[in-house]
Structure 1
């Protein structure tokens, strides 16, 4: 069965459940991403039809909000904090290291599908800047070395 065939009933159910809510597009997009991990491109026509919108309108919202993904996420998502406190404590240098180490930029997934990299604008861990989150675990005072050690441990436990 194709990916479209496996996701189609799920997407149709989400659309049917939420289409009558005021401002239904965002709840539908969140529902699909929360369920599937991303919003497959082949769902856009169904969403548009269900809400009497154009495909361009739906695609425009998906591409405007960085939260929404149109590709499957990695097994683990790394969120790097980009808030002021983390920036003041070296987050930019950490970001450069992480991108180099993983070979990807923000909103991308490693070729092996292990990691996705996403920016976040505060993890609430300002006293321990710079911070990152992998899965549900938050890490503080992250350095290039501690990042490398953390992803090595994360890969081993995955």
Structure 2
């Protein structure tokens, strides 16, 4: 999916967001969160504005943004499916489960289905180790997943 907001609007709205955080200590993460909330992602044009407002290099801002897996450079689909890739989930079939959903959706990690319905993201621990394998769908945790349960979650997104 592609952001449908003119670059000048991204710059102006990002500047307003950044200005609202300049008086707090450690404003970068709150700014990134608010920009993503505003646009559904953190566009390249926003990185330039944030860097200028905080007197940082674009590389520093990009480095922080890319370190945290929840920030994205392009808007997500209408639904986001995050599948745990940590050891506990892998030890009880998470890899097979993940491969099955990737094939069923026809996309890879960090991709969105062509219809814009689902974005698939890997995560490294959802804190449900005792209920592995686990996933998060639109912010809701699901544990003890198998093919049928995960297929049901994905099918629900189509409605």
**TM-score normalised per structure 1:** 0.84
Question: For 2:88, which of 82, 85, 88 is the aligned residue?
Answer: 85
Bigger relative contact order, structure 1 or 2 (CA pairs below 8 A, ≥6 apart)? 2
Q: Please list every run of 5 or more consecutive structure 1 residues that lacks an aligned counterpart in the other structure.
A: none
1:10 to partner: Cα distance: 3.0
Runs of 4 or more off by more than 4 Å in structure 1? none
* Alpha-carbon distance in 2 for matches of 1:15, 1:88: 43
1:146 equivalent in alignment to 2:149? yes
Q: Is the 8 A contact 1:19 1:25 kept in 2?
A: no
Name the counterpart of 2:123. 120
Look up the SS of the partner of 2:158 in the other structure.
helix
User: Matches of residues 30-109 of structure 1 in structure 2 within 5 Å?
Assistant: 30-109=33-112
What TM-score, normalized to structure 2? 0.84
* Corresponding residue SS for 1:80: strand
| TM-superposed deviation, 1:17 | 1.0
What is the match of residue 15 of structure 2?
A: 12
Number of matched residues? 156
Q: Is the 8 A contact 2:85 2:94 kept in 1?
A: yes
Secondary structure of 1:138 counterpart: strand
**How far is 1:74 from its partner?**
0.8
- Distance apart, 1:23 and its partner CA: 2.7
Between the aligned partners of 1:58 and 1:136, the Cα distance in structure 2 is 26
Query: Pairwise CA RMSD of aligned residues?
Result: 2.1
CA–CA distance in 2 between the matches of 1:85 and 1:55? 36
